[in-house]
């Protein structure tokens, strides 16, 4: 961890505190919900099989 963020133990303690408070679980859930909303708004394109132009006959 970069020294500008403080002592390594301080980062660990903050991470553990946030984990106990459910911050990481809420963050992950929000990301999953956001990804699902994007998939609904912009569904993946259907694959269309076309004959190859380079195929030799």
Q: Please give the pLDDT value at position 26.
A: 97
C-alpha to C-alpha distance for 29 and 39, rounded to whole angstroms: 15
Predicted confidence (pLDDT) per residue in 1-57, tens digit: 677 878 889 999 999 999 999 999 999 999 999 999 998 898 877 766 766 666 555
Q: What per-residue confidence (pLDDT) applies to 36?
A: 93
- Name, in order, each residue with C-beta under 8 angstroms of 14's C-beta and a sequence gap of 6 or more: none
Cα–Cα distances (Å) from 34 to 17, 25, 31, 42, 47, in that order, read: 25, 14, 5, 12, 24
For residues 13 and 1, the answer to whether their CB atoms sit within 8 Å is: no
The pTM of this model reads: 0.58
């Amino acid at each position: 961890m970069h020294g500008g963020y403080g002592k390594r133990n301080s980062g660990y303690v903050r991470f553990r505190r946030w984990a106990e408070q459910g911050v990481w679980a809420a963050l992950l859930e929000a990301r999953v919900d956001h990804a699902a909303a994007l998939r609904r708004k912009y569904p993946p394109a259907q694959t269309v099989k076309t004959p190859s132009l380079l195929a030799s006959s």
